[in-house]
Amino acid sequence: MHVRISLDLRARKWPTTANAHLFINAQTATHTDATSNVWATKILGVSAQALREDRILDEMTATGDVCRLCDLFGLSIAGAERCRAALDPPGLAPEGP
């Protein structure tokens, strides 16, 4: 929900920006630098690291594709496998009939 609102606002306020980052502000809309971690925490109320972790886990839930996680987020294969394991921990699978 918050991301959708942010994308709509971004498209309305800066329709021609060359900045490819998800979150931009008045200072970063005119160039290609990212917003600061402090800005993200203050404006969004959550740390940039928490946003990244949430996005990684959401992508793994949606696709289950380790290679995609590596490509999108620059993770190692081992790091992406840890994300998959976090979503499907051993011993917690439901038992069959």
Q: State the Cα–Cα distance between residues 48 and 39, nearest whole angstrom.
A: 9
For the chain, the 3-state helix, strand and coil shares in percent, each to the nearest 5, are 55, 0, 45
pLDDT in tens, 1-27: 455 556 788 888 899 999 888 788 888
pLDDT in tens, 25-40: 888 889 999 888 888 7
pLDDT at 65 over 70: yes
pLDDT of residue 1: 42
- Our measurement of the distance from residue 35's CA atom to the centroid of its chain's CA atoms, rounded to an integer in Å, reads 14
Q: Where are the domains of the chain?
A: 1-46, 47-90
Global pTM?
0.61
Whether 35 contacts 19, CB under 8 Å: no
